[in-house]
Amino acid sequence: MPRRTPGRSTVAIHGNQPPRAAREPVAPPIYQSSTFVSPFGSHDEVLYTRYGNNPNQLRLADRLARLEGSDAAIFVGSGMGATALAHLAVLNPGDHLLSSAWIYGGTRRLFLEEFARLGIEVSLVNPDRRREWRGKLRKNTRAIFVETPTNPLMRLLDVEWLAGLAAAEGLALLVDSTFATPMNYRPLEHGADLVIHSATKYLNGHSDVIAGAVAGSTKLVAEVRERMKLWGQALDPHAAWLIERGMKTLGPRMDRHNRTGLAVATWLERQAKVRRVHYPGLASHADHELAARVLDGFSGMVGLELVGGARAAGRCLKAFRLITHAPSLGGVETLVSEPRFTSHAALTPAERAAAGIPDGFLRLSLGLEDPEDLIEDLARGLAAA
């Protein structure tokens, strides 16, 4: 019988685990060791947890590579670490990066403040003006960075088109796919060179670990690994073990996030006090067609604007009982945040308004609770708004 390729949920649970022998533990041990015994007189790779070759780190990386369809992957100490190291793997002082302007606020600060200090220039492109990508190209442009779906408007970028441009100009294409996870979207299948995750979010899924990941070719991931070793960004083995445990349920968790996301967004759009719902699964979303074509699910992330603006949003937040006011996303519990105080705090109100994120914009990360309970809590919040 020809061997079927295992489905993504199976891969997330088993990785490349061979059938277990009698008495073997079903759950992997945690190798909470900073170092490993070296053979005498050997030039073989030294095993040291900061080098990213602890068994817990390796198991996890292998699992993500299989899910993203990449040759290699690596986990590091945070999503910001993953973004920084992925870029340092492809950029040198004097190089220029073209980045989408629709990115997480921390990433924006990394590019505009830290990269400037390293002599790496960054131009921000408004993806709604496709011509800007070519217009802002320079002789020293070496890479393109985008986030898709974006935070917090859930806009979709056309990675295939960008990959065409990157290939024609000899640039590396880096994609932050945190909001999608490999269950909903795999950027490498659409021509990206490196995919970046804040594993703090959906990959781990339980709001109890800070981590990041990068997946791509063996050569590029080896570059990331070298930068990780020298900039000291390795992931602790216990954190790696927790993420592996979290990733085992990535398939069913994303199924549920996708279903709840669509149900709640559809309900919200019908409420009189709601001005606008940003969810790519809704026909009203600017990128619905592209999203329906390229995504396997629309996730549990929903952007919300209320008729009463910022004051109404404040009243709504205080009325929630189940929905927790906290930054971050992708966990089992539903969280709500205001991007003006969290991910987009570094932007001026005018910059935020221009980016389509007015004061009072609420970002919901819908968790795994019963959707009826979430709708009841949302109704409570809207009644107070």
Ligand X SMILES: Cc1ncc(COP(=O)(O)O)c(C=O)c1O
Among 151, 181, 184, 258, binds ligand X (CB under 6 A): 151
DSSP string for 31-92:
---SB-PPPTT--SPPPBGGGT-SHHHHHHHHHHHHHHT-SEEEEES-HHHHHHHHHHHH--
Instruction: For residue 227, indicate whether it is catalytic.
Output: no
The smaller minimum CB distance to ligand X, of residues 55 and 212, is found at 212
Is residue 177 part of the contact set for ligand X (CB under 6 A)? no
Instruction: For residue 229, indicate whether it is catalytic.
Output: no
Instruction: Provide the minimum distance between the beta carbon of 177 and ligand X in the complex, in angstroms, as a whole number.
Output: 9
Among 65, 72, 80, 101, binds ligand X (CB under 6 A): 80
Q: Going by DSSP bridges, is the β-strand pair 301-306/362-365 parallel, antiparallel, or unpaired?
A: antiparallel
Instruction: Provide the minimum distance between the beta carbon of 327 and ligand X in the complex, in angstroms, as a whole number.
Output: 7
Q: Stretches 74-82, 236-244, 257-265, 313-321: which one binds ligand X (CB under 6 A)?
A: 74-82
Q: For residues 217 and 163, give the distance between their C-alpha atoms in angstroms, rounded to a whole number.
A: 15
| Element (DSSP H or E) covering residue 195 | strand 194-198
Closest-CB residue for ligand X? Answer: 79
Q: For residues 182 and 65, give the distance between their C-alpha atoms in angstroms, rounded to a whole number.
A: 10
Tokens describing residue 127 = 């993806």
Residues 131-150 touching ligand X, rule: CB under 6 A, are: 147
Judge contact between 265 and 241, C-beta under 8 A. no
Instruction: Provide the minimum distance between the beta carbon of 362 and ligand X in the complex, in angstroms, as a whole number.
Output: 16
Is residue 198 part of the contact set for ligand X (CB under 6 A)? yes
Q: For residues 342 and 335, give the distance between their C-alpha atoms in angstroms, rounded to a whole number.
A: 13
Is residue 210 part of the contact set for ligand X (CB under 6 A)? yes
100: β partners: 125
Among 106, 237, 251, 381, binds ligand X (CB under 6 A): 106
Instruction: For residue 104, indicate whether it is catalytic.
Output: yes
Instruction: For residue 50, indicate whether it is catalytic.
Output: yes
Contacts with ligand X by CB under 6 A lie at 78-80, 83, 104, 106-107, 147, 151, 176, 178, 198, 200, 210, 212, 343
